[in-house]
Chain A
Amino acid sequence: MTTVETRLTEFTDNNEKPVGYGRMLRKEDPRLIRGQGNFVDDVNLPGMLHLAILRSPMAHARIKSIDTTAAAALEGVVAIVTGADLAEKGLAWMPTLSNDVQAVLATDKVRFQGQEVAFAIAKSRYIARDAIELINVDYEILPPVVDVRKALDPDAALIRDDLKDKTNNHCFDWETGDAAATQAVFDKADVVVTQEIIYPRVHPAPMETCGAVALFDAVEGQLTLWSTTQAPHAHRTVYALVSGLPEHKIRIIAPDIGGGFGNKVPIYPGYVCAIVAALVTGKPVKWMEDRSENLVSTGFARDYIMNGEIAATKDGKILAVRTHVLADHGAFNGTAAPIKYPAGFFGVFTGSYDLEAAYCSMTAVYTNKAPGGVAYACSFRITEAVYLIERMVDCLAYDLKMDPVELRLKNFIKPEQFPYTTKTGWVYDSGEYERGMRLAMELAGYDELRKEQEEKRSRGELMGIGVSFFTEAVGAGPRKDMDILGLGMADGCELRIHPTGKAVLRLSVKSQGQGHETTFAQIVAEEIGIPPSDIQVLEGDTDNTPFGLGTYGSRSTPVSGAAAALVARKVRDKAQIIASGMLEVSVADLEWEKGSFHVKGDPSKSVTIQEIAFKSYGAGDLPEGVEGGLEAQICYNPSNLTYPFGAYICVVDIDPGTAVVKVRRFIAVDDCGTRINEMIIEGQVHGGLADGVGMALMEMIAFDEDGNCLGASLMDYLIPTALEVPDWETGHTVTPSPHHPIGAKGIGESATVGSPPAIVNAVVDALKPFGIRHADMPLTPSRVWETMQGRHVPSI
């Protein structure tokens, strides 16, 4: 089945909403669209103070002294706190999600521009901001390590002298696959193509920046933190471990979140500062980053230099892929990924192809740049992996003079090979790749496009057609393999049906815009036949939701979606027993029809789920051994990841005079298994595709040689607008996940993962007449023009 771009008029309106899966408007939207959302910055408490953070203007410098006298004397200032003050409380350093440590406030040195140095607490945001300008820090400038390729040079300045016995800027080494077997395959290959591919540092730049409001009740010893977090439960546990406050006295509330994309997974120094400020002053304290602070200091993404090698036969059978990656992790390893996966899920760099061997080695280093690494809708580094393989396949097609689609079709893993274990050990659950690829070609009119391109080329016009095919791996755990700081990646879910048949579903994940209140209500509706509008979905508040690891890596539907379906089935099972009592037949004699049980062979004898609910709380006895009430809870531990996939085709035109790239068409065929709400799926895809245009054409966090961040505002760090993106043409196939209770796979990041290579492949394809096989992102007009001149592209 295919769909092509949905128009507004086709929306099913909520008056005819489905009881279960189907297209319906989002339940959360009336609130958000009318400005009635409740974001962290909307939280205003009586007597609340404001916190502003002084950040380092230098990338690398020793702090000789800090003078806070003038700042402390400013009217309206309540306190100034420095790293030394935190050190006294043992809070100057905190753990990162990657078992490294990160300074909350710098005590010894600053290690990146924008690092937290001190903070002011004042009666207003304005005064707090004025106060930090009065703090006088005496820095001794140290040579910064900016160029990642020079980070391990013997004469490079040592960044992490805080770590015991550390003598260089090495962060970690990692490898996957079989080096020897891969070498053997490379030795026998007819063709080997080598290409250095850079995925530059980018930033998720959510519309809402990070922030928190901390409230400490000294009498109860209770800390409440409203916080921009994608993982409220994990954060609470970490705060408990770090601060020593008992976990049951910490309540994290993630209210409405204005975009996350991974940016709101880590714990940032600002949150800790807000908590400290509340403890110190006894008053509620708000900290809210401004745009520049968000861009310069919070979780960036990518920053991989990948040396790709691909081996094939001369007729285009891909045999093996090998890569060495140099990874820039910034000043602290703040990567948010399952702990046994320091390179995230980069191991899926073998892509959608049936290979004989694969090997990757990686060297990660520290530099004087902001920490982070996994963010921006990347499914734990699958963006990098897919970009590498899909560029390498195109480089191979270029060298073999083969059509890039033909090459892909020739090498896809076949449907009958699933479950398929890759040479790096990933077990792809299901896939039908050729079907998706062919559908995309059909929607695009691939053959006609190639003809058009040929004609245009003969006239000197530059038109490019780019293809990418991706396989995603989303929905972490299972818990035996995946944990974050020792917390297993499994998620709880609770469902309660009220006496009148309305319901409340409590989730451990947390929407940042993905539409959980709708999708999860629909999942439950499908299972127990209560309309989605009758199901309230609660999430984000650790005091009234079950434990779980949160929303990132497209894991909500694969993990919590499964939990929601299973908890609903558990409720339905209990409802069936109660129904058997009500209808006076045995459980086995009942048949379920969405929303009611009836006696087999006699549909007139039936009870609705609402009637059963009332009975479960009502007067009179229930069947033997059945407790009152209609509710259940579970914790879902996924047995494997789910593996969504998709085929993308992009058409670009390049103005030969100015080198400006125009994305003319973009065809996206996605397979996320069972589709719950088409509109939400398409929305996720549209957003991710726009992200892809941004990364491919304009986004980059660059640094000058002193380590100054050149992307510190949205004037410098560009994100695409409606004018840079075409009308998306979307289609889909459905290959349900065999191990997921409803066959659903994640969709949140597919388009961000799959679209950059399609766009870059299209641009490179357009430049074929110039003899160009590769060009690095972002493909700004200047970079494209320089590439056309055959010149090496500059670093900025």
Chain B
Amino acid sequence: MQVPAPFQYARATTVDHAIELLNEGGDGARIVAGGHSLLPMMKLRLANFDTLIDINGLHDELGYIRQEGNEIRIGSMTRHRELLESDLLATTFPIFRDAEHVIADPVVRNRGTLGGSLCQADPSEDLSAVCTTLDASCVIRGRDGERVVSMEDFHRGPYETAVGDAEMLVEIRVPIRPGGSSAYFKVERRAGDWAVASSGAAVWMSNGVISDARVGLAAVGPNTTGIPAISEALRGRAPSEELFAQAGALAAQACSPAVDMRGTVEYKRHLADELTRRALRKSVERINEQGA
């Protein structure tokens, strides 16, 4: 058994209470949600905090997936498993279910949360790639109220986010646009392993041409990466294998992978290409199925 260093523990009962506790704790305080990223680091003593503020009691308040107008809103305490099982998400943004099928294992998914995933800001983290692909925005709450930031602004670097010391992420908002679908592909060395590389795509079409498209990659750069060049290249074009190949090539160029036990730089670039093509192809396929 790996054992962490000593720390204080507090259990938040409301979001306001959590923010209060964060204020009291200063920069030695940390939120623990599912704990599946935080606790392993603490047990390995790679990280240590004076105080953990447990927000699992806030699942009632922050565990939801609902449509409001032309947005899907997801509370930050929504667990992986709830994202996986949500039919609303599966029909609106199938990329979520695709991704959840390949994130960790059931034990981790029962506990790990959307908020924890995004706030961990691990470059290999899958839900960040999903949210980037979907152009989601993040609602951050502090003592002085809420602010909304885009995914691009949310991630500041590996393991760094826009969430301040006395703030927390409360919600993710995903805009719904007509005529769209999405998909996610990941290569892993073994089920439950982090991605060697993964790619998410969202495509919107009207009258047989792509009106907009977005691609998000994970594990091939310092942060999960959205690639505007791909959006530009695809807009206004009819989907074709050549077009997907062009997008794949752009993805391979845009990323900046590093060599590690999961693979070589060349291989990861190749995957960025291959998986981007697959994700785009699948998205378009799904749009066509909806139309049929």
Distance between B183 CB and nearest chain A CB, rounded to angstroms: 15
Name the CB-closest residue of A to B262.
A782
Instruction: List residues of chain B with CB within 8 A of the CB of A782.
Output: 196, 262-264, 267-268
Contact with A along B249-261 (1 / 0, CB 8 A): 0000000000111
Name the CB-closest residue of B to A124.
B3
Question: B261–A710 contact, CB under 8 A?
Answer: yes
In the bound complex, how far is the Cα of B105 from the Cα of A713, in angstroms? Answer: 17
Instruction: List residues of chain A with CB within 8 A of the CB of B274.
Output: 657-658
Instruction: List residues of chain A with CB within 8 A of the CB of B260.
Output: 796
Contact with A along B142-177 (1 / 0, CB 8 A): 000000000000000000000000000000000000
Q: Is B237 an interface residue (CB 8 A)?
A: no
Question: Which stretch from A443-451, A474-482, A542-550, A716-724 is at the chain B interface?
Answer: A716-724
Contact with B along A782-794 (1 / 0, CB 8 A): 1001100100001
Instruction: List residues of chain A with CB within 8 A of the CB of B5.
Output: 129-130, 133
Q: Is A290 an interface residue (CB 8 A)?
A: yes
Distance between B121 CB and nearest chain A CB, rounded to angstroms: 17
Known pairs A129-B3, A288-B1, A721-B191; A780 contacts B263 (CB<8 A): yes
Q: Is A414 an interface residue (CB 8 A)?
A: no
Q: Is A698 an interface residue (CB 8 A)?
A: yes
Question: A698–B189 contact, CB under 8 A?
Answer: yes
In the bound complex, how far is the Cα of B44 from the Cα of A698, in angstroms? Answer: 23
Name the CB-closest residue of A to B260.
A796
Contact with B along A24-46 (1 / 0, CB 8 A): 00000000000000000100000
What are 27 A-B contacts defined by CB distance under 8 Å?
A41-B1, A126-B3, A130-B5, A133-B5, A133-B45, A290-B1, A292-B2, A657-B274, A658-B274, A659-B267, A698-B189, A710-B261, A713-B44, A715-B193, A721-B105, A721-B190, A721-B191, A724-B191, A781-B267, A782-B263, A782-B267, A785-B263, A786-B264, A789-B266, A794-B259, A796-B259, A796-B260
Distance between B238 CB and nearest chain A CB, rounded to angstroms: 23
Contact with B along A363-384 (1 / 0, CB 8 A): 0000000000000000000000
Known pairs A133-B45, A658-B271, A786-B266; A781 contacts B2 (CB<8 A): no
Q: Is A739 an interface residue (CB 8 A)?
A: no
Given A130-B6, A794-B264, 6 other A-B contacts at CB below 8 A?
A: A133-B5, A290-B3, A292-B44, A780-B262, A785-B270, A786-B267
In the bound complex, how far is the Cα of B259 from the Cα of A697, in angstroms? Answer: 18
Known pairs A292-B44, A721-B192; A702 contacts B270 (CB<8 A): no
Interface size class of B (residues with CB under 8 A): 20 to 34
Instruction: List residues of chain A with CB within 8 A of the CB of B30.
Output: none
Contact with A along B180-223 (1 / 0, CB 8 A): 00000001011111101000000000000000000000000000
Question: A125–B190 contact, CB under 8 A?
Answer: no
Name the CB-closest residue of A to B274.
A657
Instruction: List residues of chain B with CB within 8 A of the CB of A502.
Output: none
Instruction: List residues of chain A with CB within 8 A of the CB of B267.
Output: 659, 781-782, 785-786
Distance between A407 CB and nearest chain B CB, rounded to angstroms: 32
Instruction: List residues of chain A with CB within 8 A of the CB of B187.
Output: 658, 660, 781
Q: Is B109 an interface residue (CB 8 A)?
A: no
Instruction: List residues of chain B with CB within 8 A of the CB of A785.
Output: 263, 267, 270
Distance between B273 CB and nearest chain A CB, rounded to angstroms: 9
In the bound complex, how far is the Cα of B262 from the Cα of A291, in angstroms? Answer: 21
